[in-house]
């Protein structure tokens, strides 16, 4: 709600309009500062580059900037189980099989 453009859209990031891009991005920088966010998720490459490479430097923002897909990918990383966790999971599985009278060697 009341979210403003980062200032890099419409080709501004790729064109030699650095001063204008930073000027129009000041509102976005102020919004980020006001939220005290530690991470900003950018919807497009222009936004990501403007926030990460432009606004962060110009306005001394202490944030991490990611694409939405990066956030999703990072969330999918699962640390491998330890031997103890595997042993506990197998014991729980075996107890459930016994409780439900399941014999995998019997077949269907």
The 10s digit of each residue's pLDDT in 35-72 is 999 999 998 889 999 999 999 999 999 999 999 999 99
Q: What is the pLDDT of residue 107?
A: 62
> For residue 34, is it within any domain?
yes
- Evaluate if residue 15 carries a pLDDT over 80: yes
The number of folded domains in the chain is 1
> For residue 47, is it within any domain?
yes
Whether the CB-CB separation of 51 and 40 falls below 8 Å is answered with: yes
> For residue 31, is it within any domain?
yes
> For residue 12, is it within any domain?
no
> For residue 53, is it within any domain?
yes
The 10s digit of each residue's pLDDT in 63-73 is 999 999 999 99
The model carries a pTM of 0.68
Backbone angles phi, psi at 79, to 5 degrees: -70, 140
| Mean pLDDT score, 68-94 | 93
> For residue 103, is it within any domain?
no
Instruction: Report the alpha-carbon distance of residue 29 to residue 70 in Å, rounded.
Output: 21
> For residue 67, is it within any domain?
yes
Q: How far is CA 95 from the centre of its chain?
A: 38
For β-strands 39-42 and 64-67, DSSP reports them as: parallel
> For residue 55, is it within any domain?
yes
Q: In which domain, by residue range, is 46 found? A: 18-77
Backbone angles phi, psi at 104, to 5 degrees: -70, -20
């Amino acid at each position: 709600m009341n979210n403003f453009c980062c200032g890099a859209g419409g080709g501004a990031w790729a064109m030699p309009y650095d001063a204008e891009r930073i000027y129009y991005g000041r509102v976005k920088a102020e919004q980020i500062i006001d939220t005290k966010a530690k991470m900003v998720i950018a919807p497009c490459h222009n936004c990501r580059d403007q926030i990460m490479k432009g606004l962060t430097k110009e306005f001394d923002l202490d944030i991490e900037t990611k694409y939405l897909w990066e956030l999703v990918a990072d969330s999918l990383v699962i640390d491998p189980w330890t031997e103890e966790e595997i042993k506990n999971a197998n014991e729980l599985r075996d107890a459930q099989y016994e409780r439900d009278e399941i014999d995998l060697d019997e077949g269907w």
